[in-house]
Amino acid sequence: METTAIPQQLAEIVDDFQALDEPDRLQLLLEFSRGLPELPERFREHPELLEQVVECQSPLFLTLEFAPLPERIVSLYFSAPQEAPTTRGFAGVLLEGLNGLPAAEILAVPDDVPERLGLTRAITPLRMRGMAAMLGRIKRQIRESPAA
Amino acid sequence: MVTIVLAERAPRMSVATDPHKKFAAYAHPERLVSTDWLAQNIGTPGLVVVESDEDVLLYETGHIDGAVKIDWHTDLNDEVARDYVDGEGFARLMSAKGISRDSTVVIYGDKSNWWAAYALWVFTLFGHEDIRLLDGGRDKWIAEGRSVSTDTPQPAATDYPVIERNDAPIRAYMTDVLQHFGNPLIDVRSVDEYTGARTHMPAYPEEGALRGGHIPSAASVPWARAAAEDGTFRSRDELDAIYRGEAGLKDGDDVVAYCRIGERSSHTWFVLQHLLGFQHVRNYDGSWTEWGNAVRVPIAKGDAPGEVPARA
């Protein structure tokens, strides 16, 4: 039998969104936007270490760090300007939902998770694609990392 | 016997216009307000301030005190057909936002007022008379350190009349564009979109146009050329040099502007119609996401505008 591949910490966020009506979902996304932490200094001084997610409507940069084998715990880092709260909100959801998980668990996250937040009508499918692209690039960086 | 004189109707301005010196050179200075003017006029009876952004959450992070939010997608577009709301839908929206038919509406937004100009153009489809843009938009207001609020206003509902859209004067459909050949077309997208090197904006998502290039004979004048570094509109002289000089537009021309979905070309429509005074300017909102997917319409690739096709 197939078990759900959504990690607990991400599943809780999806449930939180699903439990709200549309205006409150937007408000929750705004809270994730506000909660997105600043980049650590080592990245702020080296923007070339970050990858731009060009599918987002506003500049969004991300990078990953891996703890050693066997589990390869992933740390995620995002950067997006204050005037792009929707993009920041998507980043905030992925940070809280995926940060600190083993690489294999992140690779197993279904690609349609962004659609499960119930934001597509308010935010438009096009804008949601930016979030799907972030997830896609996180997975690709995991797959292409040397120890993969 | 009663004689009725039908004077040519000038816009009825219920709130005094901004006498800013830069605006006086434009064909319709009453269509712009400065940040100074707005700061002094917030709260004036009859004035409603509207924020319209690309980013759906930006308003919630803080907006001009008392401003209401209008979202281009969820408020102005029909939910099913690719079209705008109808007269009833618009009247409902206006009522909910506290806008009366004679309200002075000042619209501002992010990205140098793209979406604000788009909203202004949609208001124009419904003939709302007194609509103005905040020169420089949201970015200028913030850059000047002016106050913002996160309180969402709860305006009293108004009795806005149901007025059906009048598309023909300012909106072109694809069939109109096919009949328009021989008259000036302005493509306001980036140069790479115009040449066909790409089908979407740099750093923006692919929106599914199957073909790249431009409508044959269209001149390439990227929208941003009309905006200065701080997002304000360039001066009358600078705009004349771009649109009358380089693009060769002449008084009396019948002009169609387009982009990808009609939002950037609303910005150019505003410039041509209200700042430069062209009287026959239409926005082709189907734009490249329609033309670049349509079967058997002519397309030109590369830097050159290309031959004028026969009218279909």
Task: Write down the ipTM of this complex.
Answer: 0.81
Nearest CA-CA partner of B119 in B26, B32, B109, B111: B109
Q: Tell me, letter by letter, the H, E, C secondary structure of B54-107.
A: CCCCCHHHCECCCCEECCHHHHHECCCCCCECCHHHHHHHHHHCCCCCCCEEEE
Nearest C-alpha of chain A: how many angstroms from B68?
Answer: 15
The 10s digit of each residue's pLDDT in B37-52 is: 999 999 999 999 999 9
Asked whether residue A1 is assigned to any structural domain, the reply reads: no
Q: Which residues in chain B are contacts of A30 at CB distance < 8 A?
A: 57, 60-61
Asked whether residue A123 is assigned to any structural domain, the reply reads: yes
Taking residues B235-262, what's their average pLDDT? Answer: 96
Asked whether residue A81 is assigned to any structural domain, the reply reads: yes
Q: What is residue A2's predicted lDDT score, i.e. its pLDDT?
A: 43
The helix or strand, by DSSP H or E, that contains position B134, with its residue range, turns out to be strand B131-134
Query: Based on the structure, what is the number of domains in chain A?
Result: 1
Q: Which residues contact B140 (CB under 8 A, 6 or more apart)?
A: B35, B134, B230, B231, B232
Q: Could you give the 3-state DSSP secondary structure of residue B222? A: coil
Q: Has residue B148 got a pLDDT over 70?
A: yes
Q: What is residue B240's predicted lDDT score, i.e. its pLDDT?
A: 98
Q: Give the nearest chain B residue to A54 (CA atoms).
A: B203
Q: What is residue B11's predicted lDDT score, i.e. its pLDDT?
A: 55
Q: Has residue B265 got a pLDDT over 60?
A: yes
Which among A126, A131, A134, A137 is the top mutation candidate for probing chain B, defined by the most B β-carbons within 10 Å of its own β-carbon? A126
CA distance B208 to B231: 29
Q: Which residues in chain B are contacts of A52 at CB distance < 8 A?
A: 203
Q: Has residue B59 got a pLDDT over 60?
A: yes
Asked whether residue A114 is assigned to any structural domain, the reply reads: yes
The 10s digit of each residue's pLDDT in B163-181 is: 999 999 999 999 999 999 9
How many residues does the structure list for chain B?
312
Q: How far apart, in Å, are the Cα atoms of B269 and each of A11, B130, B179, B277?
A: 46, 17, 19, 10
Catalytic residue among B259, B261, B272, B276: B259
Q: Domain limits at A128?
A: 8-144
Q: Has residue B205 got a pLDDT over 90?
A: no
Instruction: Examine the residue annotation and report whether B259 is marked as an active-site residue of this protein.
Output: yes
Asked whether residue A93 is assigned to any structural domain, the reply reads: yes
* CATH classification of the domain holding A51: 3.90.1010.10
Q: Has residue B266 got a pLDDT over 90?
A: yes
Confidence tier at B7 by pLDDT (50, 70, 90): very low
Asked whether residue A3 is assigned to any structural domain, the reply reads: no
B residues 34-93 closer than 8 Å to A (CB): 54-58, 60-61, 73-74
Antiparallel, parallel or unpaired: β A61-66 and A51-52: antiparallel
Nearest CA-CA partner of B259 in B298, B225, B288, B282: B288
Q: What is residue B197's predicted lDDT score, i.e. its pLDDT?
A: 87
> Which segments in chain A show pLDDT lower than 50?
1-3
Q: Which of B55, B203, B206 sits opposite A86 (nearest CB)?
A: B55
CA distance A142 to B3: 81
Q: Has residue B66 got a pLDDT over 50?
A: yes
Q: What is residue A49's predicted lDDT score, i.e. its pLDDT?
A: 81
Kindly report the pTM of this predicted structure.
Answer: 0.89
The 10s digit of each residue's pLDDT in B94-128 is: 999 999 999 999 999 998 999 999 999 999 999 99
Q: What is residue A57's predicted lDDT score, i.e. its pLDDT?
A: 65
Q: What is residue A50's predicted lDDT score, i.e. its pLDDT?
A: 83
Q: What is residue B207's predicted lDDT score, i.e. its pLDDT?
A: 59
Q: Has residue B9 got a pLDDT over 60?
A: no
Any A CB within 8 A of B105 CB:
no
Residue contact B203–A127, C-beta within 8 A? no
Q: Which residues in chain B are contacts of A89 at CB distance < 8 A?
A: 57
Q: Has residue B8 got a pLDDT over 50?
A: no
- Please report, rounded to a whole number, the percentage of residues in chain B having pLDDT higher than 70: 93
Q: Which of A52, A84, A122 sits opposite B74 (nearest CB)?
A: A122
Q: Which two tokens stand for residue B39?
A: 């700061």
Residue contact A126–B56, C-beta within 8 A? no
- CB crowding B166-199: b at 16 or more within 10 Å, else e: eeeebbbebeebbebbeebbbbbbbeebbbbebb
Rg of chain B on CA atoms, in Å: 19
Confidence tier at B300 by pLDDT (50, 70, 90): very high
